[in-house]
Amino acid sequence: MARISAKDIVVDFPIYGAKSRSLKNAVLHTATGGRLATDANERVIIRALNGLSFEFKDGDRIGIVGHNGSGKSTLLRVLVGAYEPVRGSIKTVGRVASMLSLTLGIDVEATGYENIFLRGAIMGLKRKEIETIVDEICEFSGLGDYIHMPMRTYSSGMYMRLAFAISTSVAADIVVMDEWLSAGDHAFAEKAQSRLSNLIEQAKMLVLASHDENLIRANCNKILQLDHGDMVRFGAP
Amino acid sequence: MGKTVTQPVMIKWLASLEQQIHAGFSTGFPLIGRGVHIGNRNQLALAAKDFRDGIVSIHVWPMLGWLEIKQRYRRSFLGPFWLTISTGALLGGMGPLYGRLFGLDISTYFPFLAIGFVVWLFLAGIITDACVAFIAAEGYIKQMKLPFTVYVLRMVWRNLIIFAHNAVIVVLVMLFWPPALSWHLLLIPPAVLFIALNGIWVGLGLGVLCARFRDIPQIVGSLVQVAFFLTPVMWQAGMLGRNQWAAQWNPIYHFLEVVRSPLLTATTNWNSWAAVLGITAIGYTAAFLLFARFRARIAYWV
């Protein structure tokens, strides 16, 4: 079962300039005395998410839409657990696959083969589990003997092929994606699409943020629209 | 006179620091005690869970720690053994010189300096790296959910690996000037373990503070440099004469002593062991409370 229930979640970003991020200020304030409360109030805060409540259930394919800076990426990061909301609660049931960054944890000096293990471990797999999928990843990426070369020797296309292959190799209950993933040249892109679709079909829930309306319409059965951190719409498209 | 003026200032300063940190937590809820409910669990429980989950992630932090060593020495023929060589070269130069300056016999001074310096490098490395334990993991922290403790353990593990390479020098020195065999030598592995354990709380505490206040890494960096000269690494505590307090009140001295005294004098400095155990207990308590209070803010600060 997969479920995400959020109740009144608020995310504020404190903006630290040279001013309040340095200790100097804290020390100086003692000298002047008593202005701390004011300072705390004067601090710039950006409210990225403003009291969102929603319930994602099994079978939901949620498209998150909104302008730049409307809070889409922040919401995705809350959903994968990177940001904890400053207020409200969020409860997640099910294994979450964060596809916010395909290349996170990749070391370009290591070989492609080594990187399968590196990234696999970061994705939460044990060595034994990675060993069972490593051949399939090598095969799918179509890199042949290049898999044993350092990744810095790869072209950007080859690099993305492998990163894509690793990231999409693990089944999850909840797939969280920032923009639709694609990789490689035309032939590989088709292969990649069917692999991704397959992964998403197996997942119990998809959360996809995108600017592409057609994409959202094709893949999602619910839409969550954000505007300046407010949820202005949530429901069928 | 000096005391009466500085104490209220210090208290006020600490209070303002507390408030500044608190301001970083923008809602200003008192987290300890009443507890902020994120998914109905209070922050202490969440911090404890983070700590537990981090430690059991043994497929992640040892690998990440090794990776950093490998990245640094990739394509170099000797790899991390350059650490051994550079430390060895430094000792080879410093040992005879300072031995002569202090008028000490090389056979007593060189082992003293070699052991002390290698342990010092371990301690200083942990303290310096603790500052960037979270800052350096920004990429991971913002994209995915791993226990924060993982990044601290990675830092301690990496320093342990560096220490292991430097320890080769100690072994060579001991082969040349063998230490007196005694059961006290058995206390060396636990002493090293305790240094690593203390590295974890230092990493949690300094990691949080440095993520919030970016001046602290700089302050710590200069303090560590000064500490090298104020700590009995090159000179011996005995040289202080009546001013023994200068060593006794230096926490780093005790961490050196628990490793050094079995090898050099075939004794165990129980005084230092008591200090180490005390520091471990106090450090863990303080760092854990700090971590519990601000754990949820780290992702916003890095």
- Beta-carbon neighbour count of residue B124 at 10 Å? 19
Nearest CA distance, A211 vs chain B (angstrom) = 20
Distance between start and end Cα atoms, chain B: 41
Residues in chain B within 8 Å Cβ distance of A13: 300
Out of A27, A39, A104, closest to residue B144 by CB: A104
Nearest CA distance, A99 vs chain B (angstrom) = 9
pLDDT bracket for residue A64 (50, 70, 90): very high
pLDDT bracket for residue B74 (50, 70, 90): confident
Top pLDDT among A46 and B278 is at: B278
Out of B28, B142, B215, closest to residue A23 by CB: B215
Out of A40, A104, A126, closest to residue B143 by CB: A104
Residues in chain A within 8 Å Cβ distance of B216: 23
Residue A45 structure tokens: 């805060």
pLDDT at A32: 41
pLDDT at A68: 87
Residue A107 structure tokens: 């070391």
3-state class percentages of chain B: helix first, strand second, coil last, to nearest 5: 80, 0, 20
Tell me what percent of the residues of chain B surpass a pLDDT of 70. Answer: 86
Q: How far apart are CA B291 and CA B285, in angstroms?
A: 10
| Cα–Cα distances in angstroms (integers) from residue B216 to residues B213, B222, B265, in the given order | 6, 10, 38
Q: Give the strand pairing for A96-99 and A174-178.
A: parallel
In this predicted model, what pLDDT tens digit does every residue of A123-135 receive, in sequence order?
Answer: 888 999 999 999 9
Out of B16, B40, B75, closest to residue A36 by CB: B16
Preferred mutation among A4, A11, A30, A35 to probe B, highest tally of B CBs within 10 A: A30
Top pLDDT among A36 and A159 is at: A159
pLDDT bracket for residue A42 (50, 70, 90): low
pLDDT bracket for residue B30 (50, 70, 90): very low
Q: Which fold has domain A99-203?
A: Rossmann fold (3.40.50)
Position A18 pLDDT exceeds 60:
no
ipTM greater than 0.90, yes or no?
no
Residues in chain B within 8 Å Cβ distance of A25: 20
Q: Do A107 and B215 touch (CB under 8 A)?
A: no
pLDDT at A1: 84
- Beta-carbon neighbour count of residue A233 at 10 Å? 14
In this predicted model, what pLDDT tens digit does every residue of B178-226 receive, in sequence order?
Answer: 999 999 999 999 999 999 999 999 999 999 999 999 999 999 999 999 9
Quick one: DSSP state of residue B178?
Answer: P
In this predicted model, what pLDDT tens digit does every residue of B272-283 receive, in sequence order?
Answer: 999 999 999 999
pLDDT at B185: 94
- Please state the rounded mean pLDDT for residues B15-23: 52
pLDDT bracket for residue A181 (50, 70, 90): confident
Residues in chain A within 8 Å Cβ distance of B157: none
CATH of domain A3-94+210-235: 3.40.50.300
Residue B262 burial by Cβ neighbours in a 10 Å radius (0-12, 13-18, 19+): buried
Nearest CA distance, A142 vs chain B (angstrom) = 26
Position A183 pLDDT exceeds 70:
yes
Q: What does the angle CA B202 – CA B204 – CA B209 come to, to the nearest 5 degrees?
A: 90
Residues in chain A within 8 Å Cβ distance of B74: 109
Q: Which residues contact B176 (CB under 8 A, 6 or more apart)?
A: none
Q: How far apart are CA A87 and CA A70, in angstroms?
A: 19
CA A194 to chain centroid: 21
Q: Do B20 and A105 touch (CB under 8 A)?
A: no
Position B3 pLDDT exceeds 60:
no
Q: Do A109 and B71 touch (CB under 8 A)?
A: yes
In this predicted model, what pLDDT tens digit does every residue of B144-187 receive, in sequence order?
Answer: 899 999 999 999 999 999 999 999 999 999 999 999 999 999 99
Preferred mutation among B14, B16, B61 to probe A, highest tally of A CBs within 10 A: B16
Q: What does the angle CA B206 – CA B208 – CA B209 come to, to the nearest 5 degrees?
A: 65
pLDDT bracket for residue B293 (50, 70, 90): very high
Residue identified by tokens 């990843």 is A137
pLDDT at B186: 95
Q: What residue type is B96 in one-letter code?
A: P
CB-defined contacts A:B, below 8 A: 117
| Cα–Cα distances in angstroms (integers) from residue B12 to residues A29, B4, B5, B17, B162, in the given order | 10, 13, 12, 8, 41
Residue B133 structure tokens: 């334990």
pLDDT at B40: 40
pLDDT at B190: 97
- Beta-carbon neighbour count of residue B168 at 10 Å? 16
Where are chain A's structural domains?
Answer: 3-94+210-235, 99-203
In this predicted model, what pLDDT tens digit does every residue of A112-121 receive, in sequence order?
Answer: 999 999 999 9
Q: What does the angle CA A190 – CA A193 – CA A197 come to, to the nearest 5 degrees?
A: 145
Of the listed ranges A45-49, A106-110, B67-71, B271-275, the least confidently predicted one is: A45-49
Preferred mutation among B53, B59, B60 to probe A, highest tally of A CBs within 10 A: B59
Instruction: Select from B278, B273, B268, B254 the least CA-distant residue to B116.
Output: B254
Preferred mutation among A10, A23, A100 to probe B, highest tally of B CBs within 10 A: A23
Tell me what percent of the residues of chain A surpass a pLDDT of 90. Answer: 49
Task: Enumerate chain B positions whose Cβ falls within 8 A of a Cβ in A.
Answer: 9, 12-13, 16-17, 19-20, 22-28, 37-40, 59-60, 63, 67, 70-71, 74-75, 139-146, 212-216, 219, 296, 299-301
Position A8 pLDDT exceeds 70:
yes
Q: How far apart are CA A113 and CA B179, in angstroms?
A: 46
- Beta-carbon neighbour count of residue B129 at 10 Å? 24
Give yes or no on whether A3-94+210-235 and A99-203 have one common fold.
yes
